[in-house]
Amino acid sequence: MTASFAARIGARFARHGRQLKQALNIPIRHRYTDFTIQLPAEHLLPSYQRQHPRYDRFLPHLVAALAPDAGIVDVGANCGDTLAGMVERNPRARYVCIEPDTGFFAYLQDNIARMKASLGPLSIETVQSLVGMNVGHVALAGEGGTRHAVSTGGELDGHTSATLDSILAALPPISVKLLKSDVDGFDYDVLDSATGLLTTQSPILFFEAQCDFDWQLTDFTETIGRLARQGYRHWTAFDNFGSVVLRTDDAGQILQLLDYVWKQNQGLATRTIHYFDLLACTDADIDLIERVIGTY
């Protein structure tokens, strides 16, 4: 049996195994160095990381370079998979994880318990809430291990929504060094709801910029312009596979990238990638970011 034939057979068995787990709704066990977490049967993280080695790898790399007691806010924490990667690299940091979806939130809490069972005490606050300024009258939809808010015209049943500033104000005080947001198209609203945090603490930002509609492009443009005026001068764009595309001190170049993806989503250009993850910092953190990206 040749190596290539064996690889094809192995891939076929793996694919059938995933399909069987999905059909039976059997959770996926996803291993880190010192612990294992569980993900819903349809969650795509394991297959994405097999296909794209840098997918969801940068944040753990960044967090490893932060102080042991750094404050890290994870908006759109999902099942805790990104949290697990960060905890693996910096278990002494203080984490705040916010996730609105009831199913994902249950996985998040279970996975935190799994991490604590292996690593001992961890500082992790969890909050079940939508985050933003304008997130009323929406429902959560999605598949493949992700959820996004869609307009319904009515209140979101079973969930609350709040600004990030108000959520953090209700928790024990924390000095936030990193704010991560991944809420599939509404990340500008998360940032807009954190004016107090951004003004007083200027944390490093890492957020997804997904522009499927005209209004998303408009709102991201306004938010990025506001961030630039607040001192977020240094930008890095990652493609949706986790690789660095551009580093710049000109926010206008970031807006050109968003327009590039928006045109693809409108059917006006050939598809290459689907969205960008954006890293932004002020002058206070640029030396740190230079070191982190230099070793990524």
Percent of the residues in the chain that have a pLDDT greater than 70, as a whole number: 83
Cβ–Cβ < 8 Å for 110, 135: no
| Residue-level pLDDT at 45 | 87
Structure-block tokens of residue 248:
């710049």
Domain boundaries, the chain: 8-294
The chain-wide mean pLDDT, for the chain, equals 89
| Residue-level pLDDT at 134 | 76
Q: Could you give the CA distance from residue 35 to residue 290 in angstroms, rounded to a whole number?
A: 31
CATH of 8-294, one of 3.40.50.150, 3.10.20.740, 3.30.465.10, 3.40.1800.10: 3.40.50.150
Spell out a b/e string for 148-180, using b for 16 or more CB atoms within 10 Å of the CB, else e: bbeeeeeebeebebbbbbebbeeeeebebbbbb
Does 105 have pLDDT greater than 50? yes
Structure-block tokens of residue 236:
């890095």
Q: What is the pLDDT of residues 190-215, one digit of tens each?
A: 999 999 999 999 999 999 999 999 99
Does 263 have pLDDT greater than 90? yes
Q: What is the pLDDT of residues 272-295, one digit of tens each?
A: 999 999 999 999 999 999 999 999
Q: Could you give the CA distance from residue 261 to residue 276 in angstroms, rounded to a whole number?
A: 8
Cβ–Cβ < 8 Å for 98, 174: no
Q: Could you give the CA distance from residue 19 to residue 25 in angstroms, rounded to a whole number?
A: 10
Q: What is the pLDDT of residues 114-136, one digit of tens each?
A: 999 999 999 999 999 999 987 55
Q: Strand pairing partners for 181? A: 75, 207
Cβ–Cβ < 8 Å for 175, 167: no
Torsion of CA 279, 285, 286, 290, to 10 degrees: -80
pTM of the model: 0.85
Spell out a b/e string for 234-244, using b for 16 or more CB atoms within 10 Å of the CB, else e: bbbbbbbbbbe
